[in-house]
Structure 1
Amino acid sequence: MADPDECRAALEQLSRNLSVADGKVRSAAALDRSLSCRLTDLDLTFTGTLRGGRIEDVVQSPGAPDGKAAIRLTMTSDDLVALVDGRLNFAKAWAAGRVKLEAGIRDLLRLRTLL
């Protein structure tokens, strides 16, 4: 099980990856939306804002998220780290139920290019 610091580092790396992406990935990540990432095995949630292709204002809190973010991810800490490291394919993890992604239909359509 990854610890909270490793998960925060993974989210920071994801933000860096999104900020240097180009083409369709850059366009998909250019949303201005609230974001939450619930880590079930650690019983904690990271919340922030996806803005301009970066994840900003990340805050860690225990338990489930307080509010309902526009884009909501749920997974284990190890899956988060593996996704960002490239050891786990997002589409396969999502199809297998290891990763849950919830968002409005418009956001899902834009985010599908990230899959």
Structure 2
Amino acid sequence: MATTEECRSALDRLSDNLATADGEVRSATALDRSLSCHITDLDITFTGRLTAGRIQVLDMLDGPPPDKAEIRLAMAGDDLVAMVDGQLNFAKAWASGRVRLEAGFRDLLRLRALL
């Protein structure tokens, strides 16, 4: 099971990856939205913003997110680490229910480039 530190590090690496992406991926992340990532097996939530193509983690809370962020992710810590390391395909994990992504319809349309 991934630790809290490994999950935080994975989010930082994901942010770095998004910041250096090209084309559709870069434009898909050029949003300014609140973001939460609930790590279900650790029962912690990282909250922050997706802004200027980067994820800015602002806080870590115990339990599920207390407020409804505009973009919400939920997954096990091992799945987060595996996705960032390129060992787990996001689209397949999302389709199988291992990863939950919730957002407004317009945001989902923009984020489809990440799938």
TM-score, normalization: structure 2?
0.98
Q: Secondary structure at the match of 2:66?
A: coil
Q: Secondary structure at the match of 2:109?
A: helix
What's the counterpart of residue 58 of structure 2? 58
Gaps of 5+ in 1: none
What's the counterpart of residue 79 of structure 1? 79
Deviation of residue 29 (structure 1)? 0.6
What's the counterpart of residue 94 of structure 2? 94
Deviation of residue 59 (structure 1)? 1.2
* Mapped partners of 1:76, 1:35: distance in 2: 17
User: Is 2:45 aligned against 1:40?
Assistant: no
Deviation of residue 56 (structure 1)? 1.2
* Mapped partners of 2:54, 2:22: distance in 1: 13
Q: Identity across aligned pairs (percent)?
A: 68
Gaps of 5+ in 2: none
Alignment RMSD (CA, Å): 0.6
Q: Is the Cα contact below 8 Å between 2:46 and 2:57 reproduced in 1?
A: no
Task: Tell me which amino acid in the other structure corresponds to 1:15.
Answer: S
What's the counterpart of residue 15 of structure 1? 15
* Mapped partners of 1:89, 1:29: distance in 2: 18
Q: Which runs of 4+ in 1 moved over 3 A?
A: none
* Mapped partners of 2:15, 2:55: distance in 1: 5
What is the CA deviation profile of residues 72-107 of structure 1, one whole-angstrom value per residue up to 9, with x for unaligned ones? 001000000001000000000001100000000000
